Amino acid sequence: MILKVNDLAFCYKSHEALKNINFSIHPGEITVILGPNGVGKTTLLKCLNSILTPQKGTVMVSDQNIKEMTVKQIARQISYVGQRIDSSRITAFDAILMGRHPHIRFKTCDSDLKKVDAIIKKLNLSHLCLKYLDQMSGGELQKVSIARALVQQTGILLLDEPTSSLDLKNQIHILELIKNIVIEHQISAVMTMHDLNAALRYADKCLLLKDKIIYGAGLVKDISSKTVQDVYGVNVDIVYYKGFPIVVPIGNEKAA
Amino acid sequence: MHFDHGEISAEYSGYIRKKNVFILLAFIILILVMLISICLGSVQIGFVDVIKTLLKNTESRQFDLIIWNIRLPQTLTAVVAGAGLAGAGAVMQSVLRNPLASPFTLGIAHAAAFGAAFSVMILGSATLTSSLNDTFNISNRMVTLLSAFCFSMATALLITYIAKLKGSSPEIMVLTGVALGSVFMAGTMFLQFFADDVQLAAMVFWTFGDVARADWEDFWIIFVAIVCILLYFLANTKNYNSMDMGDETAKGLGVNSDAVRLTAMMASSCATAVIISFIGIIGFVGLVAPHIVRRVIGDDQRFLLPATIIVGALILLVADIVARLILLPHVLPVSIFTSFLGAPVFLYLILKGNKK
């Protein structure tokens, strides 16, 4: 499944947030959206599955304009994990089961429950299965949300800062899991991230936002320290350690 | 992506079974309390006689009259009204994501009270029927009823319209409801200030919620409306669950949360309007029943909603029995006891805290 964005623009009332956004993502790829706070990363992600409706431009999923799709049709193709995760007195199992809702017509059946159980095991969440969400830590909630998005079995995963509440071990576990699932099932993932090192390590492509537009885009290996410097306004070097790119801030903050 | 190799854990099945057992037990208790409700009153009727009369197998004309003309419609109205108010409260609390949401906090009950006062004062539907004992009567009951219903529904429409203008956010709905409630309360007080004794008595009488007011005809109207609305709610429990996780998550799960919220609000308001138009204002059931059940069964709407409907029916029915018996031979309006019975239970649960 291919997602194609053409000339997308979005305004919050009088404030223009995004303009001239053009890019496409392909199966088996992780695309990461980078940029400083408030640049519009989350806004762009929300425009991709119609949580926000762009004033201009189109988002095409497998050659179908999402404006012409119902919310349910979109949910069968694109799953979304937001930054804000609301908790309620519902168990992790039932919260993950909600990922099957776009596919359930009348009643939850055994195959839905089995899928939830499988993803719980894959993410090592068995110990949280019957724990209520309002008793969980931020990291546990984040893992449950990712599990819910995975059980939705869509071709495109949208993840808004999926590792922001996770410790190092869980960050690596989740990102490697997403990477494996993306490759194994030939789906696409689009993530917003603040951790440049994790982003460069696990992503295939990067989109760097600055001043409402895509300032730089391309394969991870093509991202230069100059682009990162221009986007974040910080002097950096990109060095390679055991083949992995690492962004090293070298001080002397310059004006953006 | 395929995750078909999982299995249904016994632990989860057991957890679901417990919730279903709770609902079943609550339903059995409700049936028993309904039978008790038919037995008790100023004339006590034995359990066996009640069963015989219900099966049309009695020779007692007195029991037949009492049960079929008074106790049964009263009991069934209490059950349906309690279920409707509690279901509407649970759905309002869920879609507005506000634990204080209820027909009272959203001004719908105040609007109904104003509608009744308007009918009494402006449309002249209250008259003194006997000068000997100063009893008054609402001469044209249907006018009062329709007036209360129209004002409640107009309020609900206004709340949803204003909310829609501002993006259907729960906060806008709650604040608009509170503001409209204040306006209608002031309007009712204004009418009461200029009312004569008979009109004032009629207005106050109407605000006392009393299930004994409903006859069979009223019951069937309430029954059909409430059953349709509750079935609609039960069909939407998955959507309400998704919305509990936040609007963005719900949209990501294929739920058009704005549309679901607006229709849920209209349906809850309609249920409330039908009930309070026929039997007057009954507070607290819509607020307290979902909270009581939530503390036992959790937030999962698939179980919370049916359990709340049963517990709401139970609360109103028990309150009605107490109201009937406490000052025999006088029968008090049930609305006095819904709060008297519900509030201590509610406070106990708050003090006890949940298992968090």
In order of start, what are the domains of chain A with their CATH numbers? 3-85+152-249 (3.40.50.300)
Provide the pLDDT for residue A1. Answer: 60
CA B151 vs CA A138, A164, B105, B124, B161: distances in Å: 45, 49, 16, 17, 15
The residue with greater pLDDT, A188 or B266, is A188
pLDDT of B108 above 60: yes
- How far apart (Å, rounded) are the C-alpha atoms in residues B285 and B82? 7
The H or E element spanning position A224 is: none
Q: Which of B246, B248, B253 is closest, CB to CB, to A101?
A: B253
Provide the pLDDT for residue A239. Answer: 87
pLDDT winner (highest mean) among A218-222, B287-291, B307-311: B307-311
pLDDT of B2 above 60: no
**B6 alpha-carbon distance from chain centroid:** 42
pLDDT of B347 above 60: yes
The residue with greater pLDDT, B122 or A45, is A45
What number is the average pLDDT over the span A136-146? 85
Confidence of residue B137 (pLDDT cuts 50, 70, 90): low
Provide the pLDDT for residue B233. Answer: 95
Cβ contact, residue pair A130, B7, below 8 Å: no
Residues of A in contact with B356 (CB under 8 A): 132, 134-135
Confidence of residue A256 (pLDDT cuts 50, 70, 90): very low
Domains of chain B from N-terminus onward: 15-352 (1.10.3470.10)
Q: Which of B241, B246, B356 is closest, CB to CB, to A82?
A: B246
Flag whether residue A100 sits within 8 Å of chain B, measured between CB atoms.
no
Provide the pLDDT for residue B77. Answer: 93
Contact predicate A86/B246, CB 8 Å:
yes
Flag whether residue B99 sits within 8 Å of chain A, measured between CB atoms.
no
Residue A43's SS3 state is: helix
Residues of A in contact with B248 (CB under 8 A): 46, 51, 80, 82, 84
Residues of B in contact with A104 (CB under 8 A): 238
What number is the average pLDDT over the span A78-96? 86
Cβ contact, residue pair B251, A49, below 8 Å: yes
Confidence of residue B279 (pLDDT cuts 50, 70, 90): confident
Tokens 């009991």 appear where?
A: B75
CB contact set of B67 (below 8 Å; sequence gap of 6+): B38, B45, B50, B53, B54
**A253 alpha-carbon distance from chain centroid:** 29
Rg (CA), chain B: 22
What's the longest Cα–Cα distance across chain A? Answer: 60
Confidence of residue B353 (pLDDT cuts 50, 70, 90): low
pLDDT tens-digit series, residues B81-107: 999 999 999 998 888 887 777 777 788
The H or E element spanning position A118 is: helix A110-122
Provide the pLDDT for residue B227. Answer: 95
pTM of the shown model? 0.85
Q: Which of B1, B2, B8 is closest, CB to CB, to A117?
A: B8
pLDDT of A217 above 80: yes
Contact predicate B300/A97, CB 8 Å:
no
Flag whether residue B9 sits within 8 Å of chain A, measured between CB atoms.
yes
Tell me the sheet residues that pair with B135. Answer: B130
Q: Which of A94, A101, A150 is closest, CB to CB, to B254?
A: A101
Confidence of residue B209 (pLDDT cuts 50, 70, 90): confident
Provide the pLDDT for residue B337. Answer: 79
- Nearest residue of chain A to residue B243 (CA atoms): A86
Look at A138-152, B104-118, B241-255, B322-336 and tell me which has the smallest mean pLDDT. B322-336
Cβ contact, residue pair B249, A181, below 8 Å: no
| Own/partner pairs, A106-113, CB within 8 angstroms, 24+ separation | A110/B8, A111/B4, A113/B6, A113/B8, A113/B12
Interface of B with A in 230-259 (CB under 8 A): 238, 241-242, 244-246, 248-249, 251-256
pLDDT tens-digit series, residues A229-246: 888 888 888 888 888 888
What number is the average pLDDT over the span B333-344? 75
- Please give the angle made by the CA atoms of A179, A33 and A232, to the nearest 5 degrees: 130
Share of residues in chain B with pLDDT > 70 (%): 90
Residues of B in contact with A121 (CB under 8 A): 6
pLDDT of A168 above 70: yes
Give alpha helix (H) positions in chain B.
Answer: 10-39, 47-54, 61-65, 72-95, 108-121, 141-165, 170-194, 197-207, 216-235, 237-244, 247-252, 257-279, 285-297, 301-325, 334-352
> Which of B245, B354, B356 best probes binding to A when mutated, by most A CB atoms within 10 angstroms?
B245
What number is the average pLDDT over the span B275-301? 85
Provide the pLDDT for residue B91. Answer: 92
pLDDT of B12 above 60: yes
Flag whether residue A109 sits within 8 Å of chain B, measured between CB atoms.
no
Pairing between β-strand B126-130 and β-strand B135-138 as defined by DSSP bridges = antiparallel
Interface of B with A in 174-203 (CB under 8 A): none
